[in-house]
Amino acid sequence: MRTVLIPTDFSTNARHAIDYALLLHKNEPTIFYFLHAYADKVYSTLKSDGNGNIVTQKKVIKQHTELKLNKLVTEIKSKTNNPKHTYEAVLAFESLVDVVNDFVKQIDVDLIIMGTQGQTSNKKITFGSNTVQVFKYVQCPVLAVPEDYIFEQPKKVLFPTDYMLPYKLRELKLLRDIAVAFKSEVHCLYISDFENLSQRQLKNQKYILDVLYDANLFFDRIPSKHRVEAILKHVTNKEIDILVMINSRHSFLEDMLYRSTVDELGLNIKTPFLVMQNLPR
């Protein structure tokens, strides 16, 4: 059974991510944990109020959000009525990143699915601060779903890679499961002016082949000095349904996130974005 964690702030984007998650796992036995972290709400209310009492505010906000979370879970149960799915509500007085990271370790979560933005949506960027923080620091695959993305079966998956990373078996299996379930094409995209691979790269490429042995794999190479542009062009030309990238030390994704250039990629991405972790777990 797959374990999926869905953080929610009750925004439209968060609900859209829930709907996407339910459709993605429609035919798979899955337990969904719907998590709401309310510590930031308590502290922001106290800051704006000035004279508030933290104990009182914590109690009031907890009661209010607990009702909303339970109502959400009840609504989802009645709407989907999927015998393969189990739903649980999780409420926590912590920051989102901390509680998500703790919960991932405690429950051994397979996948986090969340919206690209929350209640404080900024239309000028695609990934809100919470989403980027989860990308960076939570040691679990994260699938971010754009608010205006209409669910399509992921028939085409783009996986940009330089073949320099010793990929994690568990996370490649997640990619394989998606590919096999939806009979997807997985396009491994190597962006380089050099055609030949080193022994290290060949070894890692073979590992992808070994793990994704029953997936419909394609190995593409394109020369480019601008990797973001190359990825976006490939997403459009190949009509990609999910973009997959690896987060690791000194990776392209890490470089993008820490230099705040993820918005350069995000501004033009209209497809779900799966970030797989190659950090210790």
Domains annotated on the chain, with CATH: 2-145 (3.40.50.620), 156-271 (3.40.50.620)
Q: How far apart are CA 166 and CA 163, in angstroms?
A: 8
Q: Cα separation of 40 and 129, whole Å?
A: 13
Separation of alpha carbons 26 and 275, rounded Å = 21
- pLDDT tens readout for residues 199-245: 999 999 999 999 999 999 999 998 877 777 788 888 889 999 999 98
Cα→Cα distances 257→10, 107, 154, 237, Å: 26, 27, 25, 25
Report the alpha-carbon angle 25-14-40, nearest 5: 130
Measured torsion, CA atoms of residues 69, 8, 12, 111, in degrees rounded to the nearest 10: -130
With a cut of 50, say whether residue 260 has pLDDT above it.
Answer: no
Above pLDDT 90, what percent of the chain?
51
Angle, in degrees to the nearest 10, between helices 129-137 and 96-107:
40
pLDDT over 80 (residue 45): no
CB-based contact 274:141 (threshold 8 Å): yes
Would you state the pLDDT for residue 213?
Answer: 92
Checking if the pLDDT of 38 tops 70, the result is yes
Residue 240 confidence (pLDDT):
95
**Interatomic CA distance for residues 59 and 53, integer angstroms:** 10
**pTM for the structure as a whole:** 0.88
Average pLDDT, rounded, for the chain? 85
Distance (Å, whole) CA 9 – CA 122: 15
Higher pLDDT, 11 or 56: 11
Say how far apart CA 157 and CA 242 lie, in whole Å.
Answer: 5
Which pLDDT score is estimated for 261? 42
CA nearest to 34, candidates 110, 87, 82: 87
Q: Do 115 and 14 meet the contact criterion of CB atoms below 8 Å apart?
A: yes
What region does 163 belong to: left with phi over 0, alpha with psi -120 to 50, or beta?
left
The pLDDT of residue 18: 96
